[in-house]
Amino acid sequence: MPANLYDSRELTAYRGHIISPVQEQELKDIRDGVLIVDDRGIIVFCGAWSEFEKNKNSLKHIHNYGDKVIMPGLIDMHLHLPQVTVTGKSGEHLMKWLERFVFPSEARCADPQYALRIANWFFDEMVRNGTTLGVVFSTIHKEATDVAFEVASRKGCRAIMGKVLMNANAPDFLTEDLASSLSGSEELCQKWHGHDNGRLLYAYTPRFAVTSTSELLTEVGKLWRAKPGTYMHTHLSESLEEVEFVKELFPKSPTYVDVYHDHGLLGHNSIMAHAIHLSDSDLDILKETDSSLAHCPSSNFFLKSGVFGYRRVESKGVRFGIGSDVAAGPQMSLFCVMKDANYMQPDQWLYPTELLYRATLGGAKALALEDKIGSLDEGKEADFVVVDPTHRTGIIDDILSKPTDEILSALVFLGDDRVVESTFVRGKEIFNYESAKELSQSRR
């Protein structure tokens, strides 16, 4: 127990079944555990309640969740804010799906009032699902992106987000001239990157190579590298049709990975979503440049895009986490995404412990934030969720008395938003199941 534990003005205890990843196949597993959080939202102790019980008088508040699970907040490495309105729109592969459903929905964000309503909906859904950090695509609209940051700031959410850049092969109503697109992104970055001591961070966000000219990719790469600590977030090799189109657009680059590499978009804090159709040499480049991947199994399943090489990527040592990719992913729950990650592997079994790792500490490592979030360790920021699997129909009533591997299996293969009781960021509760239910009933 840290010597300075009692130096804080206010300590709060959260007692329950602590489950937190240590590495891919190893958990911190404490049945009657306690998380002690100081008034800055920092974890000062995580261990057995018996180790702390004699000091309980030092605590201002004790929240006893009994045998419910306290686990790290979930990290969604790739999702689209404006697409929350078109979740579940099926019947097309990627390129046609974008044209038919996505581009029209994003165009509506030109209206600031509409953008505000959608941003409120989006972040409410995010925390309802136990997601404490979302890596978010906005739209091309500067004002809509600014509004989204304001909503995330007000609600206490953690986000890495950016304005989308597109200047080719997209409808006129969703393309900008290069100078405006770049300046808008730079101004938003200056305003929001590092907000609230790093709770909000900026990601330069060219949609993908298909909707970008070579000049745009080059210039956004320069902006990104000029602002250390920011992120680069784009799509890579999601569908075969897309890959073939990129070959036509950038004939001097041997592969899709080379397109981004040639334009200075790979490196530490570079996040490539999907990354399905890659060669071993592509993976070698991603490893050498220390780029990260966002695996989006639900989306790949839904749009029939292909199968992510989970074990290949893992064996190459490329950092990766998982993403819901709403709305191509038909739900925001990362429990559902974890399940789909296993279902999508035809010859490999992915176990609940390693899937939980990818949704928490693995995602934090992929974002170079493992010193702050991703696990329940002393000194980290208190991003965590309280989950009760019995809220979900189909899960046995006494599941919380079962071995931990059975609890995790129920959460991963049967869980969804209903199992999330509370969501905390930096020790502040930003979602509560009962309060949300009461609010919903009052609006009827």
The pLDDT, as a whole number, for residue 64 is 97
Of the listed ranges 21-35, 216-230, 426-440, the one predicted with least confidence: 426-440
Confidence tier at 438 by pLDDT (50, 70, 90): low
To the question of pTM greater than 0.85 for the whole model, the response is: yes
Q: Would you say the C-alpha torsion 129, 130, 132, 135 has a positive or negative sign?
A: negative
Q: What is the pLDDT of residues 346-387, one digit of tens each?
A: 999 999 999 999 999 999 999 999 999 999 999 999 999 999
Q: What token pair was written down for 117? A: 């309503």
Confidence tier at 327 by pLDDT (50, 70, 90): confident
Residue range 294-308: mean pLDDT, rounded: 94
Domain covering 74-366 in this structure, CATH number? 3.20.20.140
For β-strands 200-206 and 231-236, DSSP reports them as parallel
d(C-alpha 163, C-alpha 183), whole Å: 11
The pLDDT, as a whole number, for residue 105 is 84
The pLDDT mean for the chain works out to 94
Q: What is the pLDDT of residues 155-178, one digit of tens each?
A: 999 999 999 999 999 999 999 999
Q: What token pair was written down for 185? A: 């992104």
d(C-alpha 45, C-alpha 62), whole Å: 14
Domain 5-72+375-442 has CATH 2.30.40.10: yes
Residue 116 has pLDDT above 50, yes or no: yes
The pLDDT, as a whole number, for residue 328 is 87
Give the length of the chain: 444
Q: Which regions of 39-130 does DSSP assign to beta strands (E)? A: 43-48, 61-72, 74-80
d(C-alpha 434, C-alpha 66), whole Å: 17
> Quick check: helix, strand or coil at residue 241?
helix
Task: Give the domain ranges of the chain.
Answer: 5-72+375-442, 74-366
